[in-house]
Structure 1
Amino acid sequence: MKNTKLFLMAFALFITSSFAAFAQLQQPALSPAAHVSQTVGFTQISIDYSSPAVKGRKIFGEIEKYGVTWRAGANAQTVIEFSTGVSVGGKNLRAGKYSIFMTPTESGDWTVHLNSKAASVFAYMKDGKIDEEAVAKDDAVSFKATTERGGKTERLQYHISANDNKVAHITMAWEGVKVTFPVDTQVDQKMEQFKTQF
């Protein structure tokens, strides 16, 4: 009888702790956090973003309207970080973090904004939408990017490639669109600066 009571108490404790553990288990994020990083020349380039899925929807032109600035990801802002100074869109940028925004167009002539404040995307919300003027005011640089259509990418992804180890090509791929822009890590200039010091 005593053993039966002990068994029942232990079983009840096991069931209770199992329910408590199950209650603490959270659903996987709909747009999980993602990170990509690569050293190009002397520069470490890192991108932190959230990766939403298409899930049978039409993204560009419907979910993300043409001509409307978008956070280039989901949840929080998408942030790119350079460990050294670089040149993007014909402009020199200091080492540091920048938020990425994009303005998609139907013609494929997208604008990429690198925002100098790397502020939360919610700092730019107005009436439930991103305030494009506020984003533009904080742009470190904005420029037209190459777009390519075709193929299917279910989850939004960023890639960093650098065949010559001097110029990185940053690509955002989602649905049937790829947007690519170059980042010159200024290897030759840095080598020249190094030489002049000695």
Structure 2
Amino acid sequence: MKKQKLFLLAFALFISSTFAAMAQLQQPALSPAAAVSQVVGFTKISIDYSSPAVKGRKIFGEIEKYGVTWRAGANAQTIIEFSTGVNVGGKNLRAGKYSIFMTPTESGDWTVHLNSKAASVFAYMKDGKIDEEAVAKDDAVSFKATTERGGNTERLQYHISAHDNKIAHITMAWEGVKVTFPVDTQVDQKMEQFKSQF
């Protein structure tokens, strides 16, 4: 009888510890965190974002409506960081972090917003959607970006390329769309500044 009670107690402890371990195991994130970085010229460019999947849905024009500003990722805001000053959209930007927002259009003439506050996307929510006026107010720069259609990228991805090691090309690819914009890392200007000090 004593052995039976010990066995039952041990079994109960085993079951409870198993359930406790299972309770701590969480499901993988639906839009997992992702990051990409590249040194271009003297500048390290880093992008932190969440990577949602298409999962058979129509993304642009339905889930992300045309003409409505979108956080260019999922979960939290998408952040781009420059280790030195750069020129984007014809405007000089200081080193630092910026939130990326995008306004998709059916024609493919998308607007990219680099938001100077790098604030939480939820700071711009109004009535369940992004308040475009509030985003525009905090824009460090906004500009039109090149879009390309074709293929299918299941998970949202960002890429950084720099063929000449001076101009970086940032690409966001998702569903059948690629949005690309250049970032001038101002290598020649920085070299001139360096030379002028001697």
TM, length-normalised to structure 1:
0.96
Tell me which moved more, 121-130 or 142-151: 121-130
SS of the equivalent of 1:65 reads coil
**CA offsets 1:3-51 (integer angstroms, 9 cap, x no match):** 5544443332222111001011111111111111111111111111111
Per the alignment, residue 14 of structure 1 pairs with: 14
Structure 2 gap segments, 5+ residues each: none
Deviation, structure 1 residue 181: 0.3
Deviation, structure 1 residue 128: 1.1
How big is the alpha-carbon RMSD for the aligned residues of Structure 1 and Structure 2? 1.2
> Structure 1 runs of 4+ off > 6 angstroms?
none
* Distance in 2 between residues matched to 1:152 and 1:167, nearest whole Å: 26
* Distance in 1 between residues matched to 2:3 and 2:37, nearest whole Å: 59
**CA offsets 1:33-72 (integer angstroms, 9 cap, x no match):** 1111111111111111111111111000000010111100
SS of the equivalent of 2:144 reads strand
Tell me which moved more, 10-19 or 48-57: 10-19
SS of the equivalent of 1:3 reads helix
**CA offsets 1:93-131 (integer angstroms, 9 cap, x no match):** 000000000000000010000000001111111111111
* Distance in 1 between residues matched to 2:43 and 2:6, nearest whole Å: 64
Per the alignment, residue 36 of structure 1 pairs with: 36
Per the alignment, residue 144 of structure 2 pairs with: 144
* Distance in 2 between residues matched to 1:126 and 1:11, nearest whole Å: 53
* Distance in 1 between residues matched to 2:164 and 2:10, nearest whole Å: 64
Tell me which moved more, 5-14 or 114-123: 5-14
* Distance in 1 between residues matched to 2:120 and 2:47, nearest whole Å: 15
* Distance in 1 between residues matched to 2:143 and 2:120, nearest whole Å: 21
Tell me which moved more, 23-32 or 104-113: 23-32
* Distance in 2 between residues matched to 1:24 and 1:102, nearest whole Å: 37
* Identical residues among aligned pairs (%): 92
Aligned residues: 198
Structure 1 gap segments, 5+ residues each: none
Deviation, structure 1 residue 157: 0.5
TM, length-normalised to structure 2:
0.96
Per the alignment, residue 68 of structure 1 pairs with: 68
